[in-house]
Amino acid sequence: MTSPEGALDRRLAELLAEDVGAGDVTTEWTVPETARARGTLVAKSPCVVSGLPVARRAFALLDPDLDWKDETPVGSRAEPGAALARLEGRARGLLTAERLALNLLQRMCGIATATRRYVDAVAGTGCRILDTRKTAPGLRAFDRMAVADGGGSNHRAGLFDMVLIKDNHRRLAGGVGAAIREARRRAAATMRIEAEVESEEELREAVAAGADVVLIDNQTPQTVAAWSAIARQAPRPPVIEASGGITLARVRAYAEAGADCVSVGALTHSVEAADISLDLEVSAA
């Protein structure tokens, strides 16, 4: 079985290959092979820190002897001017990996920062903030890591680890109850089954069929409160998830309406990257 570290290295190697191709001609033609460099990753905008282990591995793939020191813990807030990490190593390796490392670090810090805003907005309610599958293809593992660093929780990793019956599934399966019953027949006992509902009738049908989680989609906080009360009358009440364009300004209303969790696609599909820089200088051999 591939370790998480091995999977990370394999993905980073693929991303480096996309950028480097046949070779980093600028670096190879201008920087001496024996040159060494040092630098500091610096936050230029306020952010919640995420992705330092990923950035470190990107550099280390090209320089296994990389010297790296974290300066700001992952998950903490950083103000402009804060040093996130210091690094020293082979100049060519640092230059070649720089753009990939910064791209991932900036994206992950941006996701973690947005997540923390939502988490702070529902503080004290017991409601969790979830990510979704609305991630950049190929970057889901990094996006999910960033959500967790921001204090959020990860939803299903993909199509394989949880049943989530949505509108098209309902229509093609002959209704939400039929879909849940067929999924339950086939699924392992440990696999959760979630069903999206868009009406009170569908809600009652999903609860009666034994959904573990009910996703109340595109409804007002008032409707979420009313439907949550209905669902919680069941002998085995489902987890209540709310979703559907829920903004930062409105998320607390959904939490106070009784949602156990709120899933927010904007955490990963509308990323505002953090501004982070790396200035390198020559270091002694």
Which among 77, 86, 99, 133 is annotated as catalytic?
Answer: 99
Which among 9, 198, 217, 272 is annotated as catalytic?
Answer: 217
Q: What are the phi and psi torsion angles at 190 (to 5°)?
A: -85, -10
217 catalytic? Reply is: yes
> Which residues pair with residue 196 across a beta bridge?
215
99 catalytic? Reply is: yes
Distances (CA, A) of 50 to 44, 161, 198: 15, 25, 36
134 catalytic? Reply is: yes
E strand or H helix at 160, and its extent?
none
Which among 38, 156, 166, 192 is annotated as catalytic?
Answer: 166
Which among 98, 196, 205, 260 is annotated as catalytic?
Answer: 196
166 catalytic? Reply is: yes
Q: Which two tokens stand for residue 111?
A: 């996701």
Report DSSP letters for 102-137, one per residue. HHHHHHHHHHHHHHHHHHHHTTTS-PEEE--S---T
Give burial (CB, 10 Å; 0-12/13-18/19+) of 5: exposed
Which among 11, 38, 77, 134 is annotated as catalytic?
Answer: 134
CA end-to-end span of the chain: 39
44 catalytic? Reply is: no
d(CA 220, CA 256): 12
Distance from CA of residue 50 to its chain's centroid?
10
d(CA 206, CA 192): 13
Question: Angle between the 200-209 and 221-231 helix axes, to the nearest 10 degrees?
Answer: 30
How many CB atoms are located within 10 Å of the residue 280 CB?
16
CB 117 within 8 A of CB 272: no
Closest CA to 225 of 139, 158, 127: 127
Catalytic residues, which ones? 99, 134, 166, 196, 217
